[in-house]
C-alpha cells in the first residue's frame, strides 16, 4: 500500500467515525440513507455483492450503510472543498412547476441535478477500465443520490429550498418542514436503522421500474398531491403518521431501484460476440449514457454499524438543504 493510499483510507475511516457525531443532516438524514442502503444490499446478486464489498474495502468500509450518508458528510465537513462544490447541486432537482415534468434543458442544465448525477456515476461504476478508487467514489455517491431522488423534498417545485423555508411547529417548537422529514417522520417507529431496514424490507418479487427521471417526477407529485405540505403549520401525530407511511414506501422503492441499478452495472460482463462487440449495458433499462464527471478525489466516507438503538434527534439539527432554489 502506498503512502497516498494509507492517507486516503485514514481520511475515510475518520469520516466513518465523524458521522456518528454529526449534528446536521440532509435529505433523509443519515438514518434514512442507511435504511435504504441496508435493504438494497440484501437484494444484490451474489457476484455483485462480492464486487460491492471489494469496492467498499477501497473506502475502508464494510457495507453500503457505512457510506450511505458520505455525500452529505462531504458537504458538511468540507464545504469549501472542490468535491463539495462540484457535487452540491447533484443532491436534488428543482422542477419548474407543479406539472412535475422533467425537461433536462430546463431542470438539469449542464447536468447539474440528481437525475444526471445518477446516470453519470452509474456509468463510472460500471466501467471496469477505470481505477478502483474512482469507481469506489462513484459507488458512494450513487448509493446516496438514488435515495435522494426518492425523497419528495429533494424534487419539488416550490421556491422554499426543499421545505427549509417552510416554517412549522412540532411539539410546540418551531422548526422547518425539511427538518421534520429528516428526523421526526422516521423517528415515530423508534427503531434503530438496522432493525428498521429489516422491518421494511420489500418482498423479493418487487421489481424495479422506471428511470431516475421517473423517480424524481414521482417524488415531485407527492409534494403536490401527497400531503407532504401540511394544511396547518402546527403539525400533529396524524401528520407524522401519514408521512411515515409515505416515507417508508419511498425508502422501499429507493432500495429496490438501487439494488437493481447495482445488479445491472456490476453484473459479470458478457462474453464478446462473434463480431467482437459486447452488449452495451448503458442501454439496459433506458439509462442514458452521459459523459462521466471528473473524479475530484478527497474521499471522506462515514457510517455507523453499531447504532441500532432508539433514534434521538441531534441537538441543534436543522435539516438543511439550503442549496436548493
User: For 234, phi and psi rounded to 5 degrees?
Assistant: -100, 105
pTM, entire model: 0.79
- The pLDDT assigned to 271 comes to 54
Say if residues 113 and 138 touch (Cβ distance below 8 Å): no
Partners of 168 in the β-ladder:
175
- The reported pLDDT for the residue numbered 2 is 53
Task: Tell me what pLDDT residue 80 has.
Answer: 81
Q: How confident is the model at residue 25 (pLDDT cuts 50, 70, 90)?
A: very low
Residues in CB range of 86: below 8 A, 6 or more apart: 293, 294, 296
Of 4-18, 123-137, 178-192, the one with minimum mean pLDDT is 4-18
| Per-residue pLDDT at 268 | 73
| Stretch 154-183: mean pLDDT | 96
Nearest alpha carbon to residue 300 among 6, 59, 63, 35? 59
pLDDT at 226 over 90: yes
Tell me the β-bridge partners of 235.
Answer: 170
Please say if the pLDDT value at position 18 is more than 80: no
Paired with 167 in beta bridges are 176
The mean-pLDDT minimum among 12-21, 24-33, 61-70, 82-91 falls in 12-21
Average pLDDT over residues 266-292: 46
Residue 311: CA count within 13 A, CB half-sphere: 24
Q: Cβ of 267: how many Cβ atoms within 10 Å?
A: 15
CB 251 within 8 A of CB 34: no
Q: What's the confidence (pLDDT) of residue 76?
A: 87
Residue 125 has pLDDT above 90, yes or no: yes
C-alpha cell at position 316: 441543534
Angle between helical axes of 114-126 and 132-149 (0-180°, round to 10): 150
Distances (CA, A) of 158 to 41, 51, 58, 182: 34, 40, 39, 18
Q: Which residue has the higher pLDDT, 107 or 275?
A: 107
Mean pLDDT value across residues 117-136:
98
Residues 95 and 157: beta-carbon distance below 8 Å: yes
Between residues 280 and 74, which one has the greater pLDDT?
A: 74
Alpha-carbon distance of 292 to 265, in angstroms, equals: 15
CA dihedral 249, 244, 102, 287 (to 10 degrees): -30
- Mean pLDDT, the chain, rounded, equals 82
Residues marked active site are found at: 28, 33, 72, 75, 91, 144, 148, 154, 178, 182
Q: How far is CA 167 from the centre of its chain?
A: 25
pLDDT digits (tens, 9 = 90+) for 91-120: 999 999 999 999 999 999 999 999 999 999
pLDDT band at 296 (very low <50, low <70, confident <90, very high): very low
pLDDT at 309: 38
Amino acid at each position: 500500500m502506498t503512502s497516498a493510499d494509507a492517507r486516503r483510507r485514514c481520511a475515510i475511516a475518520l469520516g466513518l467515525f465523524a458521522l456518528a457525531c454529526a449534528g446536521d443532516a440532509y435529505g433523509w438524514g443519515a438514518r434514512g440513507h442507511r435504511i435504504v442502503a441496508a435493504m438494497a444490499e440484501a437484494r444484490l446478486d451474489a457476484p455483485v455483492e462480492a464486487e460491492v464489498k471489494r469496492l467498499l474495502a477501497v473506502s475502508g468500509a464494510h457495507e453500503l450503510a457505512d457510506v450511505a450518508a458520505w455525500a452529505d458528510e462531504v458537504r458538511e465537513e468540507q464545504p469549501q472543498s472542490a468535491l463539495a462544490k462540484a457535487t452540491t447541486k447533484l443532491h436534488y432537482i428543482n422542477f419548474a412547476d407543479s406539472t412535475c415534468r422533467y425537461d433536462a434543458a430546463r431542470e438539469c442544465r449542464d447536468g447539474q441535478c440528481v437525475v444526471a448525477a445518477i446516470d453519470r456515476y452509474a456509468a463510472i461504476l460500471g466501467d471496469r477500465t477505470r481505477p478502483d478508487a474512482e469507481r469506489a467514489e462513484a459507488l458512494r455517491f450513487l448509493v446516496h443520490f438514488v435515495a435522494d431522488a426518492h425523497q419528495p423534498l429533494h424534487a419539488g417545485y416550490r421556491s422554499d429550498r426543499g421545505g427549509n423555508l417552510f416554517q412549522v411547529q412540532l411539539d410546540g417548537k418551531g422548526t422547518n418542514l425539511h427538518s421534520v422529514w429528516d428526523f421526526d417522520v422516521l423517528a415515530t417507529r423508534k427503531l434503530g436503522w438496522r432493525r428498521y431496514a429489516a422491518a421494511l424490507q420489500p418482498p423479493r418479487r418487487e421489481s424495479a421500474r422506471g428511470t431516475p427521471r421517473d423517480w424524481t417526477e414521482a417524488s415531485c407529485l407527492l409534494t403536490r398531491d401527497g400531503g407532504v405540505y401540511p394544511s396547518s403549520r402546527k403539525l400533529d401525530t396524524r401528520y407524522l403518521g401519514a408521512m411515515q407511511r409515505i416515507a417508508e414506501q419511498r425508502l422501499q422503492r429507493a432500495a429496490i431501484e438501487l439494488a437493481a441499478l447495482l445488479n445491472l452495472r456490476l453484473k459479470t460482463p458478457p462474453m464478446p460476440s462473434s463480431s467482437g462487440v459486447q452488449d452495451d449495458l448503458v442501454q439496459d433499462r433506458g439509462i442514458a449514457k452521459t459523459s462521466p464527471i471528473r473524479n475530484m478525489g478527497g474521499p471522506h466516507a462515514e457510517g455507523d454499524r453499531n447504532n441500532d438503538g432508539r433514534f434521538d434527534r441531534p441537538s441543534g439539527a436543522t435539516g438543511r438543504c439550503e442549496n436548493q432554489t
